[in-house]
Amino acid sequence: MSISTADVIIASPGRNFVTLKIVTSDGVVGWGDATLNGRELAAASYLRDHVASTLIGRDEDRIEDTWQYLYRGAYWRRGPVTMAAIAAVDMALWDIKAKKLGIPLYQLLGGASRDKLRVYAHASGNDYAALSQAIRGYVDEGYTAVRIQTGVPGLDSVYGVSATAKPGEKYDYEPAHRAADGSAATRPVEEDWDTPAYLRHVPSIFEKVREEFGPELRLLHDGHHRMSPIEAARLAKSLEPYDLLWLEDATPGEDQEAFRLIRQHSTTPLATGEVFNSVYDYQTLITERLIDYVRSAPTHTGGITAMKKLLDFADIYGIRSGLHGPTDVSPIGMAAALHIDLAIHNFGIQEYMPHSDLTLETFRTSYTFNRGFLYPGDNPGLGVELDEELAGRHPYTAAYLPVNRLLDGTVHDW
């Protein structure tokens, strides 16, 4: 048998998603996710204009060979656009293989290593009262782990902090911004930032959270790449009394050596990798044990084939998974993460931001959530099917992540 068609579907049911549909000569359909938040059309073009025609007639069972063909054969290696495109093909082929065998994907990856997947939720608030209410909502829903993001006095809006969401409400906490009238954005909005104010404020918030919620709730925090190495070391050290599960993306992602400095100063566990796209982005971090959790999503890291190898590599060094699970990864990409999570030995925790109702009507998932844990489900393949007709009714609308500036106007990392 062979691949007959490979089509790219760009749609915006709630937010933008890029989906690859591969159909085999005997009619088996495989789905892949290539969504790159704010750069969706680049990944779609890579697939449509440079990859799709090379797939036609290829043996769909040759997943590793196809991965190597697209990676080594392109000459230009790595990069988020290339790796998101490869990821979509790879997911679709694993989906097809598992569907042909009539088994859920995790069975092909070695079978289940656990019964359920612990997830963490996103709680945020501009002030402690709002944050506390958000955390309480998640605790009442059965969550055992919560990411804490707080507003900072003196700053109007902080990325990752919802001004409006109520606990338990389905909401894109970190939406890519459209224009105010709902039409396509022509450029990102800009937010302000002040690292000293942030460093002064965050530990006091964690102190209050521990006081109110006790020692058992797992707490996480995301620094969104905004600190210098020494600032990150200081924050990691000042958060030690509050026993974080991890401090995420403390420094800009491309500087692996920065983590040596943070590590010298603190025992707060560290996580990074959501903007990485290759195992080579982790080489120093893993071999020198500079991090504790791998944060990539299969969608941005070359798919299931590459993610499984990356996590096996991390396992040798005692490093665990904490895969990226934002709403800007489609339910197909999320399902890929869950099947890997269930199968690997070194699972840590899974990020979970529930997709909007419209997204979930369009992508019909079989994974389920119950009291703080996700279950990939036992449908054959990845277990997600796209309703193409419904997707077609929600066309792509340009939307961007914000740009971050210091109070004096300097463009800043995030």
- Active centre residues (catalytic): 159, 224
Q: Which is nearer to ligand EZ4, 67 or 363 (CB)?
A: 363
d(CA 148, CA 139): 13
Measure the CA–CA gap between 46 and 219, rounded to whole angstroms: 39
Binders of ligand EZ4 among 161-180, rule CB under 6 A? 174
Q: Which residue has the CB atom at the shortest distance from ligand EZ4?
A: 326
Indicate whether 328 belongs to the interface with ligand EZ4 (CB under 6 A): yes
State which residue, 96 or 131, has the beta carbon closest to ligand EZ4. Answer: 131
The count of residues in the chain is 414
Pairing status of strand 293-294 against strand 246-248? unpaired
Q: Which of residues 247-276 bind Co ion (CB under 5 A)?
A: 274
326 near ligand EZ4, judged by CB under 6 A: yes
Residue with Cβ nearer ligand EZ4 (58 or 122):
122
State the CB neighbour count (10 A cutoff) for residue 201: 16
Of 253 and 377, the one with the shorter C-beta distance to ligand EZ4 is 253
Say if strands 3-11 and 17-24 run parallel, antiparallel, or are unpaired.
Answer: antiparallel
Whose tokens are 């999320």? That residue is 334
Binders of ligand EZ4 in range 204-223 (CB under 6 A): 222
Number of residues that bind Co ion (CB under 5 A): 2
Q: Which does 103 bind (CB under 5 to 8 A by kind): Co ion, ligand EZ4, none?
A: none
Q: Which helix (H) or strand (E) holds 142?
A: none
CA distances from 182 to 12, 14, 122, 177, 185 (A): 12, 12, 25, 9, 8
Query: Which of Co ion, ligand EZ4, none interacts with 328 (beta carbon under 5 to 8 A by kind)?
Result: ligand EZ4
Q: Could you tell me how far CA 122 lies from the centroid of its own chain?
A: 13
CB 253 to Co ion: min, Å: 10
Cβ proximity to Co ion, 194 vs 222, nearer residue: 222
| Shortest Cβ 88–Co ion spacing (Å) | 22
The single residue among 60, 194, 274, 281 that binds ligand EZ4, judged by CB under 6 A, is 274
Tell me if 281 contacts ligand EZ4 by CB under 6 A. Answer: no
CB atoms near residue 310 (< 10 Å): 25
CB 199 within 8 A of CB 126: no
Contact residue for Co ion among 222, 231, 292, 328 (CB under 5 A): 222
Which distant-in-sequence residues (6+ apart) come within 8 Å of 146 by Cβ?
Answer: 120, 121, 122, 123, 135, 138, 139, 217, 218, 219, 220
Q: Which residues in this chain contact ligand EZ4 in the complex, by CB under 6 A? A: 37, 174, 222, 274, 326, 328, 351, 401
Q: Which residues in this chain contact Co ion in the complex, by CB under 5 A? A: 222, 274
